[in-house]
Amino acid sequence: MQIEKTHLAVFSPTGTTEQVLRAIAPYFPSLSHEIDLCDYQSREQMHRFGKNDLLIVGVPVYGGRVPIPARERLERFFGNGTPAILAAVYGNREYEDALLELKNLLETRGFRAVAAGAFLAEHSIVRSIAAGRPDAADLQKINAFAEQASNKIEGIDDISKEPELFVKGNFPYREFKGDPFDPHGFKSCTGCGICAAKCPTGAISKQAPWKIDKNRCISCMRCVKVCPNGARNLSPVKYASIRKMLESKCKGRKEPEFFF
């Protein structure tokens, strides 16, 4: 099939999911539109795609699921037999039901998943886990995935006749119990407001950015990543507890998995 326009849609609070998508994108023609699913101000915007568009979409894995804000924003996407390439990016624990959830979500909205991958990246909370990933070895595999996906799309005559793509996962999806890890501002916070502007859920007060709405915070760690003064983080006691728990669950080097 002939792709006329390629669209990127990414929810990437700390930038690693975006790294994966940007490694995939050059294998496809006419990248014309990038949609930042972290942008809180445009969260209600509708997006419509045609049969000759290609959507490449990536999300991180939170507790084995698609992050709730990403899911809510993707529910405003509408395809028309539009081919889609899916990426779920996780921090070396498990991706569990996230890739299946992403596939089902998009296919109920008029998209056809033609390729999907579960990719590895540095853990957003405990950065020593899968540190530096995606690394050079990951990028080689991402490139191979993108090339194979591109070849598959070129060979499709009628996407409506393509068999359903199989990906790993279970339905009903695992229960997501939330993230009780809300980072906050320390005394070195200057009140610049960058964290409030970048927060994908509007959880940080613009008037008092050292404060956080625990009911909105998803512990994505974007505020920690973007703070120019290193003034935001988890409390040392909480971080030590989380690190111990995650390091016990994230042992060994996991590798990407691809589905065509």
Q: Kindly report the pTM of this predicted structure.
A: 0.94
Query: How does pLDDT run across 57-109, given as a tens digit for each residue?
Result: 999 999 999 999 999 999 999 999 999 999 999 999 999 999 999 999 999 99
Contact between 209 and 185 under an 8 Å Cβ cutoff? The reply is yes
Q: From CA 255, how far away is CA 260, in angstroms rounded?
A: 17
What pLDDT shows up at residue 210?
86
Contact between 223 and 183 under an 8 Å Cβ cutoff? The reply is yes
What pLDDT shows up at residue 180?
65
What pLDDT shows up at residue 27?
95
Region 23-37: what's the mean pLDDT?
92
Which two three-digit tokens encode residue 192? 């610049």
For domain 5-173, the CATH superfamily is Flavodoxin domain (3.40.50.360)
Which two three-digit tokens encode residue 239? 């971080």
Average pLDDT, the chain: 94
Q: From CA 17, how far away is CA 119, in angstroms rounded?
A: 9
- Sequence ranges of the chain with CATH classification 3.40.50.360: 5-173
CATH architecture of 184-246: 2-Layer Sandwich (3.30)
Region 154-163: what's the mean pLDDT?
96
Contact between 231 and 183 under an 8 Å Cβ cutoff? The reply is no
The DSSP call for residue 199 is -
Q: Which of 55, 54, 85 is nearest to 258 (CA)?
A: 85
Q: Which of 51-55, 178-182, 189-193 has the lowest mean pLDDT?
A: 178-182
pLDDT at 196 over 80: yes
Region 191-204: what's the mean pLDDT?
96
Q: Which of 40-44, 130-134, 197-201, 245-249 has the lowest mean pLDDT?
A: 245-249
More confident residue, 149 or 251: 149
Region 48-60: what's the mean pLDDT?
98
- Sequence ranges of the chain with CATH classification 3.30.70.20: 184-246
* Residues in CB range of 178: below 8 A, 6 or more apart: 63
The share of the chain scoring above pLDDT 90, in percent, equals 81
Contact between 18 and 58 under an 8 Å Cβ cutoff? The reply is yes
What pLDDT shows up at residue 179?
64
Query: How does pLDDT run across 224-250, given as a tens digit for each residue?
Result: 999 999 999 888 888 888 888 888 888
Which two three-digit tokens encode residue 232? 């935001």
Provide the H-helix boundaries in the chain. 16-24, 68-74, 98-107, 136-154, 194-198, 222-226, 236-249
Within the chain, how many helices (H) and strands (E) appear? 7, 10
What pLDDT shows up at residue 245?
82
